[in-house]
A = this chain, B = another copy of it.
Amino acid sequence: MKKNISVGLLGLGTVGSGVFQIIERHQEELVHQLGCGVNIKSILVRNLEKTRDVQVDSTYLTTNPEDVLNHPEIDVIIEVMGGIDETREYILKALEARKHVVTANKDLMALHGPELQNAANQYGCDLFYEASVAGGIPIVRGIEDGLVSDRIDKVMGIVNGTTNYILTKMDDEGVSYEDALKEAQELGFAEADPTADVGGLDAARKMAILARLAFSTSVDLGDVEVNGIADLALKDLQFGKQLGLTMKLIGFTHFQDNQVEVSVQPTFLSRNHPLAAVKNENNAVYVNGEAVGETMFYGPGAGGLPTATAVMSDVVVAIKNMLLDISGRSYLPPRFEKVLKTPDQRFSNYYFRLHVQDKTDTFTAISTIFNDLTISFERIIQIPEDEIVVVTHETTLEKVRNVLADLQKADVVKEVKSHFRIEGAVGE
């Protein structure tokens, strides 16, 4: 049998402990796959004395990054410490020292992915990041390998478990946003400071990574239009339900004529859309390919062991590539120059809820505002408390922005309460 392969860990938190456990428990499977076992040689931690969930021989722990990054026997470095600037430096050092790197760090990959991937290519190393998007769901490899001969034109994801848990509670049980968030915090699905989750930034990071991968174009985090769920009114979810729509925080990216759009926003889904059935803290990524059609990958988006499983699937591929002497070829530079779609090229159906004057000509006045911008209705519904819900046929974001401006100026409209993209047909 071949000599065991040695790996090093940067970090020993929830995911790191999961990786540690899998390597301990699954030696037999690893030997079966690789023809050799896997050893952990050194683990970078902040505090040597901390009590941990896993029993680790203290001689393996170190607070000096060099002990991992330049360990002569370590071939693969697993980065599960999080953070951005310091971590970026560590990974660059590791690559320079000709170590392959597996990372679960979405923040880092969203911001510095292309730079790190180029460095990996330059040093003939692999840099894998399956765990950085949607935890245990093998979506990176699913897009890379499974659909390799297809042209992907759309990726939609429920890629944040916290917000999906909150929206499920609101939609299924009529719980308010505040109460649902509190419950999510009590259950450990939401952080004490939930800003990055509920504001949509966490999902935006993952969507930037997915858009780059799916369309081979260099999307940056700043290209993602982001709206979170903190202002959502239960009322809209209830009207949506009556229209056969389910509210989800959807990461959306579309590629057409070499032009790309990426957004994260609360979106109404037709009840028949496969993503509409994804509940609680679960994640799912929907991929539409020209040839394959609609596919979806579903699973746990977070959690120590699920994320660690994704990390380990990368570790296995990195080791296989190393044993076969084919490392450093996994990253392909973008094929397409980035061109962002302009608002007149971004199409969707929309939902508006308006607080209006209770007058006989209100309906007509509002119809006229939409008609003047050639936005056609799917339906328009008067609801209690002087409100009107308008559902449009497909229109452009540009027209939506114009109609919002016109509605705000109109006498009959007291307030535009909300507006949302709709994905799929209403009332199905």
Contact (A142, B136) CB under 8 Å given A292-B299, A324-B326: no
A142: which B residues are within 8 A, CB to CB? Answer: 138, 142, 146
Q: Does A277 contact B (CB under 8 A)?
A: yes
Q: Does A255 contact B (CB under 8 A)?
A: no
Interface string of A141-172 (1 = CB under 8 A from B): 11001111111000000000000000000000
Binds B, one of A173-181, A307-315, A388-396: A307-315
CB-based contact B299/A149 at 8 Å? no
Instruction: Compute how far the CA of A306 lies from the CA of B309 in the bound complex, rounded to whole angstroms.
Output: 28
Binds B, one of A28-36, A65-73, A227-235, A370-378: A28-36
Q: Does A101 contact B (CB under 8 A)?
A: no
Q: Does A13 contact B (CB under 8 A)?
A: no
A interface: dominant SS: mixed
Min distance, Cβ A368 to any Cβ of chain B, angstroms? 40
Instruction: Compute how far the CA of A326 lies from the CA of B151 in the bound complex, rounded to whole angstroms.
Output: 27
Q: Does A293 contact B (CB under 8 A)?
A: yes
Interface residues of A, count at CB 8 A: 55
Q: Does A424 contact B (CB under 8 A)?
A: no
Q: Does A137 contact B (CB under 8 A)?
A: yes
CB-based contact B316/A149 at 8 Å? yes
19 pairs from A and B in contact (CB 8 Å cutoff): A21-B291, A29-B151, A32-B216, A32-B335, A33-B149, A136-B291, A138-B142, A147-B309, A148-B312, A148-B313, A148-B316, A149-B316, A291-B305, A292-B309, A292-B310, A294-B299, A295-B297, A296-B297, A297-B297
